[in-house]
Chain A
């Protein structure tokens, strides 16, 4: 079993809709959780991070964390074609400083 699992997609949503991206992790000791966005041919860039159970909002983005279920999600409201990219979930492992990434979910927002 991979340490961080994501559905590879593609997830296709119409412009203006809510995109919901999900991630599960195996290490119960994980403390910090990150969402990165990666455009084709580019490097990952941070969207947001969360380390407390519940929701964290930043503009059109909301991260949700449920440690009991070992589940992290990212909601993108009012999706735009420019949001089309691969979204990578990352988790600290072994209560340390290293990030393990999931395989990413490809999001396509159609005009």
Chain B
């Protein structure tokens, strides 16, 4: 298995531009999570999908952020318009929700820099 695949790995953009981050979860995993990591705030959960349905988006910082999961093998996180304070590493993670512990497997991350 190729693991969780994220793209792009690096994105540099200017304030006000739209940014779209992409994620392909592990095949067979039915839960998908978007996290953001900064030095100041650590790893923060933004949104969580189960079976392609958004379950909890309380971590999405504001209306500029939106996430979709149109099918079991693809999700996007969009920021529009982007601001310098959005600069961070964005991780996608997937897991199999079921009995027992919910083990997350992370993608390599997308490093976003907003100038």
A103 touches B48 (CB 8 A): no
Interface 0/1 of B41-62, CB less than 8 Å to A: 0110100101000011000000
**Chain B residues within 8 Å of chain A by Cβ, number:** 21
Complex alpha-carbon distance, A30 and B91, angstroms: 23
Interface size on A, residues (CB 8 A): 20
Q: Given contacts A43-B106, A97-B31, A98-B48, are A88 and B43 in contact (CB under 8 A)?
A: yes
Give the residue of B42, B45, B103, B107 whose beta carbon is less than 8 angstroms from that of A43.
Answer: B107
State the total of A-B contacts with C-beta under 8 angstroms. 45
Using Cβ atoms and an 8 Å threshold, which residues of chain B touch A34?
Answer: 101, 103-104
Is A85 part of the contact surface with B, judged by Cβ < 8 Å? no
Q: Which residues of B contact A88 (CB under 8 A)?
A: 43
Q: Is A17 an interface residue (CB 8 A)?
A: no
Given contacts A32-B101, A103-B42, contact A98 B33 (CB under 8 A): yes
With A44-B91, A100-B45 already in contact, 11 other A-B pairs whose C-beta atoms are closer than 8 Å: A32-B101, A34-B103, A34-B104, A43-B106, A51-B101, A92-B102, A96-B56, A98-B33, A98-B48, A99-B33, A103-B42
Query: Which residues of B are in contact with A by a Cβ distance under 8 Å?
Result: 31, 33, 35, 42-43, 45, 48, 50, 55-56, 91, 97, 101-109
